[in-house]
Amino acid sequence: MPDTFHEQIRTALDNPTLQMALDGNAERRLKALNQAFATLPENREALRQRAHAVRAHTIAHLDHYLDQFIANAQANGLIVHQAVNAQEAVGIVLQIARGAHSKVVAKSKSMVSEEIHLNHALEAAGFNPVETDLGEYIIQLRGEPPAHIITPAVHLTRTQVGKTFAEKLDIPFTEDIPTLTATARKVLRRTFLEAGLGLSGVNFGVAETGTLTLVTNEGNGRMCTTLPPLHVALMGIERLVPTLDDLALMLYLLPRSATGQKLSVYTSLIHSPRRPGELDGPDERHLVLVDNGRRAMRQSPLMEGLYCIRCGACLNACPVFREIGGHAYQAVDGRITPYPGPIGSVVSPGLFGVPEFGHLARASSLCGACKEACPVDIDLPKLLLRVRAAGADLEGYKKTSGLSTQDKAGTQPSVKLRSHVPLGMRLSLRGFAWIASSPALFSMAQRLAGFFSRIISPRSEWLRLPRFTGWGYSKDFPRPTTRPFHERFATLAAVPSANEYRAIPAQPTGQFEPAAETKPVSHEALVDRFCEELTVLGGAARRCTVNELAGGLLEDLNDLGITALQAWDEEHFPAGLIPALRLGGILVQATPDPTLRAGLTGALAGIAETGTLVLPGGGGRPQTASLLPEIHFAVLRQTDLVQTLVEALRLPGLRDFPTIVLVSGPSRTADIEMTLTIGVHGPRELRVFIV
C-alpha cells in the first residue's frame, strides 16, 4: 500500500471522535436493517438471487436496454445527452446551466456529480451550486467530500455540526439536532425558490417506459426536480432495469439495505417536463448519461461491480470501513475516491484505474460480510482478489464488437493483464504454486514445515514473526502441524459412524422462481394494514364517510389555525368537498405559494404493505401541494387501496402522468448521528382521510 494510505489509516484509527461516530452509525444502521428485512414479502435470499439475475442480465445486454431507454425517454419529452467521460459530462451541464435565469444551482444527492467533480467546474464558471441533502450540505459547508455514499456526514458528531453551523451560518451554537435541521430547512428553502437549475441523480432508469426513478427521504430531491425551470439528471449508464416489475424488486431491496426502511419517504417516477396548463414542474428536463469508464469496466473481470445499486450496505458491514471511514480511501496522489468501502475498492480501480486506486482492495479482511450484506449478491471478495492479483490497466482491455465475450459465451472476457506485484512476492507465489500442484511435494513440504517449526519455536504453538516483515508488531503465525489434514481425514473416513452424517443445505438447491401472486384480501384488511404502516411512519390516518370528510378536514384546519391551503383541482376529490371547505372559511387555491402552511391532495392509490400514497402529477394535480406546505392532507378512497408495491406499479396509465410520487410518511432525515428527525424539506406532517 502507498505510504499516504497507511498514514490515513493510522490517522483514522487514532481519531477518537471519528471512532465514536462510526461505531454509532454501524450499531444503529445494522439494527434498522435487520428489522426491515424481517418484513420482506418473501425470503430475502430468493429476492437477492432474483435481483442478481436482473442486474446480470441488464449489464450483459446493456446496449440493448440503453437504446430502448433512450428512445422511450425521448418519446416522453426528455432531452437526452450522452457523455463518454467526465469532461464531456461537465461540458454538457455547463452548457445547459448557461441558459438558466439564475446562477444558483440546487443540487440533490448525486454520486455521479462527485465522480466528475461537477461542483468545482460550476464554481469556476461563476455558478453557485448548493447541496440540499442535509448531510451533503453539512460537508459542503466544511469543504469536505462525502464519507459514505448514503450518509455523507457519517464521520461527524452533533457537536462538530453545531460548530460548523455557528461558524458558517452565523447562528448561536447548539447541539440540538431538530434545531440544526430546522436551520438547514430555512436556509435551503431560499435556494430552492431562487434556483434556475435543479440537478439530481438517478437511482434507476426503466427501459420499457423511459422512467427516471429517484429515491429520497428529505424532500430535497422533489424540490430540485419540481421548482426550478430547468432540471438536469445525471445517470451512470449502468443504472438500468428492464421493466417496472424489475424496479419493484429493486425497491424492495434498496431502501431496506440503505436505511432500514420498507420504502423511502419519496420515490419519484419522472417521465416528462411540464405540460401546457400545468402549474409546476420544469419547462425542460435533461438527462445526461455518463459512461466515464463503465463500458471498459464491463469488458473486464470487474464487470460484476456494475451490478451495484449504491445502497451502502457493504460499507456498513465492512469491519475495515467501520474503523477507518470513507476519507481514508485515497488514490496514490491523495485524492479521495467518491466510492469508498468494499464496492468502492472495486469500482474505483474499475473506473479510474488500478495504478491509482488498486491498493484500496488490500484494505479488506476478505471476511465476506460485504457479500452477505449486498442486496444483489455481488461477490465482492472475489472482485477484491481480482483487483489485488491482476494489477490491470483497464484502459488496455481489448474490446469485441457488439456484445462482449460474456454476452456470447457466458464466460469472462479475455484481457491482457499487467502485473504490479513485487518481484519477491511473485517468486514466492510461483514457488508455492509449483509445490501445491504436486501432492507428493506438498505433503513433503508440510512435514518439513512442521519439523523445522518445532526447532524454531519448541515451547510455543506460535511462530513469532520478525518485525522487518511488517506483521511482527501485531501478528503471530500458528506452528504447522506434523500430521497433515488429509491423514487425519483418512482416519476419520475409516470410522463407519462418520459416514452416517450428511450436511443439510442452508437453502433449497436449484433456481429461485418468482414469488407467487399475492392472495387477495378484503378492503377492510387493506385499510387496517395501511393505517398501521402509516402510523409507524409518523403519519396519521382517519377513517370517515364521504359525508363526514369536509367536517373532519375543517375540524383539523381550525384546530391548527389554518385559513388557506393549496389543493388539487376540485374534480379530483369527492363531490362537494372543495365548496364545503370554502363555505367553512378556508381559502382554497391551486397556485403554489411557499407561505401556505397546508396542502390538500387526492391519491391515485394507496399501498397497504408500506402505508404509501401514490400521487400523480399533471392535469390539475400540482406536486407542490404535497411538497411546499408543512402539513400535507390527503384524501384516499378505500377502493383505491392495493396490497403491494408490485400492484401499484402495474396500475394502468402510469406512463401517462408527467410525474408520479410514492409518499411514505412525512419527510425525515438521520444524517446527524443517525438520529431520526421528522420534517426536513418536505412536510412535517401527513394526515390521510380514508373514505
Residue 454 has pLDDT above 90, yes or no: no
**Residue 416 pLDDT > 90, yes or no?**
no
pLDDT tens for 342-371 read 999 999 999 999 999 999 999 999 999 999
Q: Strands of 230-236's sheet, edge to edge?
A: 79-83, 284-290, 230-236, 197-200, 104-107, 128-131
Mean pLDDT of the chain: 89
Choose among 383, 393, 388: nearest CA to 347: 383
Adjacency order of strands within the sheet including 598-601 = 540-543, 685-690, 631-636, 598-601, 564-567, 587-589
What CATH number belongs to 63-290? 3.40.50.10420
247: pLDDT strictly greater than 70: yes
For CA atoms 257, 674, 668, 555, give the dihedral sign.
positive
Whole-number pLDDT of residue 455: 84
CA distance 304 to 306: 5
Q: Are 265 and 667 within 8 A, CB to CB?
A: yes
pLDDT of residue 194: 97
**And the C-alpha cell for 299?**
469488458
Q: Which three cell numbers stand for residue 393?
A: 490497466
pTM (two decimals): 0.85
Q: For residue 377, which amino acid is it?
A: D
Q: Which three cell numbers stand for residue 260?
A: 432500514
Domain boundaries of the chain, sorted by first residue: 1-38+302-393, 63-290, 426-487, 523-690
| pLDDT digits 0-9 by tens, 210-231 | 999 999 999 999 999 999 999 9
Which pLDDT value is given to residue 420?
Answer: 53
pLDDT in tens, 504-549: 333 333 333 444 456 778 889 999 999 999 999 999 999 999 999 9
Question: For residues 234 and 220, what is the distance between their CA atoms, to the nearest angstrom?
Answer: 16
Residue 496 pLDDT > 80:
no
Pairing of strands 104-107, 128-131: parallel
* The three three-digit cell numbers of residue 635, written as one number: 384524501
As given in the structure block, the three cell numbers for residue 486 are 488429509
Residue 32 pLDDT grade (very low, low, confident, very high; cuts 50, 70, 90): confident
1-38+302-393 and 63-290: same fold? Answer: no
CA–CA separation, 291 vs 355, rounded Å? Answer: 20
What number does CATH give the domain 1-38+302-393?
1.10.1060
Q: Is the pLDDT of residue 161 over 50?
A: yes
Q: What pLDDT, on a 0 to 100 scale, did the predictor assign at position 507? A: 39
Whether 327 and 336 have beta carbons less than 8 Å apart is answered as yes
Contact 210, 271 (CB under 8 A): yes
CATH for 523-690 (1.20.1730.10, 3.40.228.10, 3.40.50.10420, 3.30.420.10): 3.40.50.10420
Q: What is the DSSP string of 542-585?
A: EE--HHHHHHHHHHHHHHHT--EEEE--GGGSSTTHHHHHHHTT
Mean pLDDT, rounded, for 620-639: 98
